[in-house]
Amino acid sequence: AKLNRETEEEMAALKDGFSPGIVARAPIDSLIVAMNARSMEDFVARFGTVFTNLADQLGWSEFVVLTGVRQPLLGQENDHPPVLAAEDHLLEAGFSRTEPHGLASDLEGFASILGSLFWIARCNAAAPHILFAAKGSASVGTLCQYANIHFDIYEPQEANLLGNALEPNGLCQPPDGICREILSQTSAIPGRAIEL
């Protein structure tokens, strides 16, 4: 309990506050977006194209990627080969091992780094949450370790648009609404580690 409390306090200290005049809003809905895949490698190979099709349908063309707290996205060391390759790709894209940088990108650039971002979310347990949003959208996506996107939605119309766009683009919601591991037979995630 003490370790959990200390961790929560450390994370709270790393969160940005809201500027005067900006009201913090709670989402009106949430949606888990999944894609069927045989393995993480299969998922990463196909997801950029699937997401591009979804974004085109929704009119999303510009994106920002941020961490949930002021902490470097690539601050955790992990020698799992797919994670090492993902880190190299993200360093080339402009992320840092030492600074809590975000990234603004067009759709093509964002789709090209999505697979690498998912490797970090999946395998680096000490990495901060990876969030993204499209310019003009009313939702924020968070990448999760189970290769899903958790959308927090702030306008009812966006919930309907997003929900209706999933199936035509090869995406789905978990049938019971619960996010869980589907890419591993044992629920263990190869390469997932935490830096203590």
pLDDT tens for residues 87-126? 999 999 999 999 988 999 999 999 999 999 999 999 998 8
Question: What confidence tier does 57 reach under pLDDT thresholds 50, 70, 90?
Answer: very high
Rounded mean pLDDT of 37-66?
A: 96
Question: pLDDT per residue over 2-22, tens digit each?
Answer: 988 888 888 778 777 666 677
Q: Is the pTM of this model over 0.85?
A: yes
3-state class (DSSP) for residue 175: coil
In the chain, domain spans:
27-169
Q: Are 136 and 130 in contact (CB under 8 A)?
A: no
Radius of gyration for the alpha carbons in the chain, expressed in angstroms and rounded:
17
pLDDT at 133: 97
Question: pLDDT per residue over 167-191, tens digit each?
Answer: 999 999 998 889 988 888 777 888 8
